[in-house]
C-alpha cells in the first residue's frame, strides 16, 4: 500500500504538467477561438463587436493564469468543455468513443504479445540457428515498415483482392483485425528482440547451470525460471505500449474509419476545435499514467525478488 501511495503521489505532478501542456497548446495555436466558434455558428465574417462579445463570454480576456485555473478546476470535475463541432460535452464524446479504441488496443496488445514473446523464446532457445536468423530478419522488417503503408497493403490484399475483411468501419471483430495487426506489428517485433535478449542473458547465468545439473527439462527451466526473471523489461514495454496505443492510434483509426478517440481528435485538429484537442491530450495522458502505474504494481507480482521486507522497492 505504501508503494502504491508513493507511486500515486509521483503521478500527480505529471498529470498537472499534462493539463498545463494541454492548455498551452490551445493558447499557442494559431487563430482565435472566438472567431472559430462564431464561424461554426454561421457567422462567416464576424464583426469586431461580435468577436469582442464572444471573447468576453469565453473568458479569453482574462489573464492566462486565471484562464488556466478556471479550466483546470472544471477539468478536475470531469468537465473538459464543449466541442465546437458537435455542441456536446467533450468528456461525454471521449467516453462514448473510448470502447472502440480500447477494443482495438486490447486486440493489438494481444497480437503483439502472441507474436513477440513465443517467437523471442524460440529464437533464444535456437540461438544462431535458422529460426533465429529468420526471426531477427522478420523483426527488423516489421520495425522498419511504416504503419500507413502496411495498412494500405492489408486493405489491398484482404479487402480488395480476397474480399475477406471489411475495408473500414466498426461493429464486428472483423473490422478490428487489420487495424490491430498494423498497430501490433512494430511492437511485436520489439518484443521478439527484447524477449530473445532477456532470455539469453538469463540462460547464461550460473543458476541455469545448476538447474540443468539437477536434470530439469530445458522447457521447464525456460518457462519456470528464465522467463519469469526476464519478464520485467517485457512488462515495461507492454504496459507503456498499451498506455501509448490508446493515444497513438490516430492514423490507424483514420485509415480504417474506426470511430475512436483518435479519429475524434483528428477531426478536432482539422476544425481547430480547441476543447476537443485539450480534452484529448488530458484524457490520453491520464490513461497513459494509469497504465504505467498499473505496470509498476505488476512488477512485484511478477518478480517477488523486487520485494524487500515484504514491501516493494
Per-residue model confidence as pLDDT tens for the chain (313 residues): 666 677 778 778 888 888 888 888 777 777 777 777 777 666 667 778 878 887 787 777 778 888 888 888 888 888 888 887 777 888 999 999 989 988 998 899 899 999 998 998 888 888 889 999 999 999 999 989 888 899 999 999 999 898 899 988 888 888 999 999 999 988 899 999 998 988 888 877 777 777 777 777 777 777 777 777 777 778 888 877 777 777 667 888 889 988 989 888 888 888 778 888 888 888 888 888 888 787 777 766 666 555 544 444 4
Cβ neighbourhood burial of 219 (10 Å; 0-12, 13-18, 19+): exposed
**What is the distance between the alpha carbons of residues 95 and 118, in angstroms, rounded to a whole number?**
35
pLDDT at 306: 54
Asked if 190 and 180 count as a contact pair (C-beta separation under 8 A), the reply is no
Q: Provide the pLDDT for residue 300.
A: 62
End-to-end CA distance of the chain: 12
Instruction: State how far the Cα of 215 lies from the Cα of 240, in Å rounded to an integer.
Output: 38
Interacting residues of 110 by C-beta distance below 8 A, sequence separation 6+: 180, 184
Residue 43 has φ and ψ, to the nearest 5°, of -95, 95
User: What's the confidence (pLDDT) of residue 119?
Assistant: 92
Q: What contacts 24+ positions apart, CB below 8 Å, involve 93-97?
A: 93/264, 93/276, 94/261, 94/264, 94/279, 94/280, 94/283, 97/259, 97/260, 97/261, 97/263, 97/264
pLDDT at 310: 46
Write down the pLDDT at residue 7. Answer: 73
Q: Which residues, in sequence order, are CB contacts of 212 under 8 Å at separation 6+?
A: 218, 221
Element at 29 (helix H, strand E): none
DSSP, collapsed to helix, strand or coil, labels residue 308 as strand
Please provide the CATH number assigned to the domain covering 90-312.
1.10.3720.10
Q: Is 59 exposed, middle or buried (0-12, 13-18, 19+ CB in 10 A)?
A: exposed
Distance CA 119, CA 135 (A): 7
- pLDDT of the residue at 41: 66
C-alpha cell at 14: 505529471
Neighbouring CB atoms inside 10 A of 254's CB total 18
What CA–CA distance (Å, rounded) separates 188 from 150?
14
DSSP label at 105?
A: H
Dihedral of alpha carbons 209, 212, 213, 216, sign? positive
- Distance of alpha carbon 304 from alpha carbon 282, whole angstroms: 34
Amino acid at each position: 500500500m505504501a508503494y502504491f501511495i508513493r507511486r500515486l503521489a509521483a503521478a500527480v505532478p505529471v498529470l498537472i504538467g499534462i493539463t498545463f501542456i494541454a492548455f498551452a497548446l490551445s493558447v499557442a495555436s494559431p487563430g482565435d477561438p472566438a472567431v472559430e466558434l462564431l464561424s461554426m455558428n454561421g457567422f462567416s465574417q464576424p464583426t469586431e463587436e461580435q468577436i469582442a462579445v464572444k471573447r468576453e463570454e469565453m473568458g479569453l480576456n482574462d489573464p492566462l493564469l486565471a484562464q488556466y485555473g478556471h479550466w483546470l478546476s472544471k477539468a478536475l470535475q470531469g468537465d473538459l468543455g464543449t466541442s465546437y463541432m458537435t455542441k456536446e460535452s467533450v468528456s461525454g464524446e471521449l467516453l462514448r468513443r473510448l470502447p472502440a479504441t480500447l477494443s482495438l488496443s486490447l486486440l493489438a496488445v494481444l497480437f503483439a504479445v502472441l507474436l513477440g514473446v513465443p517467437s523471442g523464446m524460440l529464437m533464444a532457445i535456437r540461438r544462431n540457428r535458422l529460426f533465429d536468423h529468420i526471426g531477427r530478419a522478420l523483426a527488423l522488417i516489421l520495425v522498419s515498415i511504416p504503419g500507413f503503408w502496411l495498412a494500405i497493403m492489408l486493405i489491398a490484399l484482404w479487402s480488395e483482392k480476397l474480399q475477406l475483411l471489411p475495408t473500414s468501419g466498426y461493429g464486428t471483430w472483423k473490422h478490428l483485425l487489420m487495424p490491430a495487426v498494423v498497430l501490433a506489428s512494430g511492437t511485436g517485433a520489439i518484443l521478439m528482440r527484447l524477449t530473445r535478449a532477456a532470455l539469453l542473458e538469463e540462460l547464461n547465468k550460473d543458476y541455469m547451470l545448476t538447474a540443468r545439473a539437477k536434470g530439469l527439462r530445458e522447457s521447464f527451466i525456460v518457462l519456470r525460471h528464465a522467463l519469469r526473471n526476464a519478464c520485467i523489461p517485457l512488462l515495461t514495454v507492454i504496459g507503456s505500449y498499451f498506455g501509448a496505443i490508446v493515444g497513438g492510434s490516430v492514423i490507424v483509426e483514420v485509415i480504417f474509419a474506426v470511430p475512436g478517440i483518435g479519429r475524434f481528435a483528428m477531426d478536432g485538429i482539422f476544425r481547430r476545435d480547441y476543447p476537443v484537442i485539450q480534452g484529448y491530450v488530458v484524457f490520453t495522458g491520464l490513461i497513459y499514467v494509469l497504465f504505467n502505474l498499473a505496470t509498476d504494481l505488476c512488477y512485484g507480482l511478477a518478480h517477488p525478488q523486487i520485494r524487500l521486507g515484504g514491501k516493494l522497492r
